[in-house]
Chain A
Amino acid sequence: MHGEYKMPGGKLAVIDLEIRGDRLVDVRLSGDFFLEPDNALHMIDAALEGQPAALSPPAIAGVVAAAVPATTMMYGISPDAVAMAVHRAVHGEQDA
């Protein structure tokens, strides 16, 4: 399953995932955003893995924000943008 969200004034957040037993699995975040340090990407993937598929976007954003050190720099992407991409992947909504 695939979801994309273009953050207003930012870059594209893309989520590829599967749902197994109402849980998110094989979650992969990608996009043309900027993230430092770069290993924060895999921290976000790992934190989203196994989360309930029914989680609300604000709750997903909370998971993303808590997954990375406070000093992580995000440019063109935000926890909310990732959450929107997850939401769209889960619900099969088109980027709009």
Chain B
Amino acid sequence: MTRTSWRDHDWQLIHTDAQMPVQHMALDAVLTDEVGAGRRKPTLRIWEWAAPAVVIGRFQSLRNEVDAEAAQRHGIEVVRRISGGGAMFIEPGNTITYSIYAPLSLIDGLPFSEAYAYMDEWVLAALGELGIEAWYQPLNDITSAGGKIAGAAQVRRSGAVLHHVTMAYDIDAAKMVDVLRIGREKLSDKGTKSAAKRVDPLRSQTGLPRASVIEAMISTFRRLHGLHDDALRPQEVADAESLGLAKFSTPAWTADVP
């Protein structure tokens, strides 16, 4: 395999309607496979959420990570994603999440640690332009002097790499610790002191509305790597809906690691 560069690819942007949590999980699987099969060009997808969710990593214990009773009380759906890494607490508007679906050639030969940093160089540049000095903290975090900003996860399948990242925009820390079984040490790792009410590095450090931060990120990606506006195809949506029903909404999947 010959290593490709960002500019060797014709990058597509998907930033469309808000999706339900299960559909987000399924879209990541479907779009990774579509790019791997060459039916879709390499793509950046910015997520918008239609409902709150806890997204646990592929190998996390459902019981150990999530207080099911608290999640139900807050009306929060629990879903499991296809990549490893830690749990994310999502409420519409509280995070910025994106996925990059790329041919494996983009990171061919890179050790894991470099592959993570390489996929997010554009984000560090975007954050810099927004006035946040951020850097990669191995294994899979983006951090700043003010604390952790984001966590990334990668999975390689069917000839493609999925690299997705969730960035903390303005998280209700009290609700998060109510739903996630998260230690004080971990909370501090997420960029706050245990007494803090909000984990809001992007909001507090940019002073910008969430939509403006996303706009700035897209503009940086477009300038650095090139980017054409695209949309989900009806077949991709239908495939994701089927996969959501067959897999991502089932207890067999969500409790695969009970």
- A residues lining the B interface (CB < 8 Å): 9-11, 14, 16, 28-36, 38, 41, 73, 75-76
What's the dominant secondary structure at chain A's contact region?
Answer: strand
Size class of B's contact patch?
20 to 34
Is the beta-carbon distance between B57 and A32 smaller than 8 angstroms?
Answer: yes
Which residues of chain B are near A34, meaning CB under 8 Å? 59, 83-85, 112, 139-140, 153-155
- B residues lining the A interface (CB < 8 Å): 57-61, 64, 82-87, 112, 138-140, 153-156, 257-258
Which residues of chain A are near B64, meaning CB under 8 Å? 14, 16, 30
Is the beta-carbon distance between B86 and A32 smaller than 8 angstroms?
Answer: yes
Is the beta-carbon distance between A32 and B85 smaller than 8 angstroms?
Answer: yes
- Cβ contacts A to B, 25 pairs, < 8 Å: A9-B138, A10-B139, A11-B85, A11-B139, A14-B61, A16-B61, A16-B64, A28-B257, A28-B258, A30-B59, A30-B61, A31-B59, A31-B60, A32-B59, A32-B84, A32-B85, A32-B86, A33-B59, A34-B153, A34-B154, A38-B82, A41-B59, A41-B257, A73-B112, A75-B112
Which residues of chain B are near A11, meaning CB under 8 Å? 84-85, 139
Which residues of chain A are near B139, meaning CB under 8 Å? 9-11, 34, 75-76
